[in-house]
């Protein structure tokens, strides 16, 4: 794994450039996208580049990592809503080519064919990840099998607490989600992970210096052939 340390603004800009380079080299790239606060700076940079004419997303296909069970795409904390508001509504992408797991209705049937659908487009070329304070990636909590594909996950209490800042009250945070599995993520040809803030420091230390174990889901990335970790000084502090 390669590690790049910089300010949040710098690493967000660098990751955005990775996406711009990928799409300009392959206009019909398949991109794996994440939600949460970590990629917001990346998406803002992509919107800016698109408006400046530096990159076009009109032929791009996207797949998101996860979605809360119980929230439909119009709910302001659903990940479909997040992606529309923070990226898709502001770039020249065909929304019919953007895929976000379903949180209501036939969500289980859709989840069961998600990996096959990704494969039908040739697989993910470039995947962005955030990381949880306990080392989870997507909603793959500690103990998730390394060979897992897209599945329903019970959220750990620490994840619910971490995500409660985005809701009016912790009681509103869903306790289950549909998520791409660890094997699903590892199938991406290139991975970039962004982590900022002291609350991510232990997870980054375990990722970069710890053993590979299912109790630390992110540790599977140690085996990926093309994975770059982008961190700020606070997130990197325990490694140093």
Find the catalytic residue in 8, 66, 67, 115: 66
| CA 42 vs CA 9, 46, 223, 225, 229: distances in Å | 9, 6, 25, 23, 14
Catalytic: 66?
A: yes
Catalytic: 141?
A: yes
- The predicted pLDDT at position 166 comes to 81
Range of the domain at 112: 2-201+211-236
Find the catalytic residue in 99, 136, 151, 224: 136
Query: Which band of pLDDT confidence, cut at 50, 70 and 90, is reported for residue 162?
Result: confident
Summary mean pLDDT of the chain:
96
Query: Which band of pLDDT confidence, cut at 50, 70 and 90, is reported for residue 70?
Result: very high
Q: pLDDT tens digit string along 99-143?
A: 999 999 999 999 999 999 999 999 999 999 999 999 999 999 999
Residue 156 has pLDDT above 90, yes or no: no
State how far the Cα of 32 lies from the Cα of 98, in Å rounded to an integer: 10
Q: pLDDT tens digit string along 2-54?
A: 999 999 999 999 999 999 999 999 999 999 999 999 999 999 999 999 999 99
Query: Which band of pLDDT confidence, cut at 50, 70 and 90, is reported for residue 163?
Result: confident
- The predicted pLDDT at position 208 comes to 97
Q: Is residue 142 part of a domain?
A: yes
Catalytic: 136?
A: yes
Mean pLDDT of 134-154: 96
Q: Is residue 10 part of a domain?
A: yes
Q: Is residue 15 part of a domain?
A: yes
Catalytic: 8?
A: no
Segment among 30-44, 153-167, 213-227 with least mean pLDDT: 153-167
Mean pLDDT of 204-214: 97
- Please count the structural domains in the chain: 1
Question: What percent of the chain lies above the pLDDT cut of 90?
Answer: 91
Q: Is residue 152 part of a domain?
A: yes
Find the catalytic residue in 67, 134, 162, 232: 134
- The predicted pLDDT at position 55 comes to 98
What's 48's domain CATH number?
Answer: 3.40.50.1360
Q: Is residue 13 part of a domain?
A: yes
Structure tokens, 117: 């659908």
Q: Is residue 206 part of a domain?
A: no
- The predicted pLDDT at position 168 comes to 87
Find the catalytic residue in 8, 67, 115, 141: 141
Q: Is residue 157 part of a domain?
A: yes
Q: Is residue 97 part of a domain?
A: yes
| CA 136 vs CA 55, 127, 141, 155, 172: distances in Å | 31, 15, 5, 10, 21
Q: pTM score, two decimals?
A: 0.95
């Amino acid at each position: 794994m390669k590690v790049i340390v910089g300010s949040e603004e710098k690493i967000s800009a660098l990751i955005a450039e990775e996406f711009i380079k990928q799409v300009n080299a392959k206009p019909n790239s398949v991109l794996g996208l994440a939600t949460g606060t970590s990629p917001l700076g990346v998406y803002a940079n992509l919107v800016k580049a698109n408006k400046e004419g530096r990159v076009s997303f009109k032929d791009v296909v996207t797949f998101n990592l996860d979605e809360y069970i119980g929230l439909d795409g119009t709910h302001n904390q659903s990940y479909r809503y997040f992606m529309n508001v923070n990226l898709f509504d502001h770039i020249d992408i065909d929304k019919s080519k953007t895929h976000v797991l379903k949180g209501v209705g036939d969500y289980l049937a859709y989840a069961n064919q998600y990996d096959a659908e990704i494969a039908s487009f040739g697989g993910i070329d470039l995947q962005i990840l955030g990381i949880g304070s306990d080392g989870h990636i997507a909603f793959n909590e500690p103990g998730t099998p390394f060979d897992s594909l897209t599945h329903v996950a019970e959220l750990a209490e620490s994840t619910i607490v971490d995500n409660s800042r985005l809701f009016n009250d912790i009681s509103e945070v869903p306790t289950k989600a549909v998520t791409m599995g660890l094997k699903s993520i590892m199938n991406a040809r290139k991975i970039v992970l962004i982590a900022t803030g002291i609350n991510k420091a232990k997870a980054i230390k375990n990722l970069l210096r710890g053993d590979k174990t299912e109790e630390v889901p992110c540790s599977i990335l140690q085996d990926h052939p093309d994975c770059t970790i982008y961190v700020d000084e606070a997130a990197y502090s325990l490694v140093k």
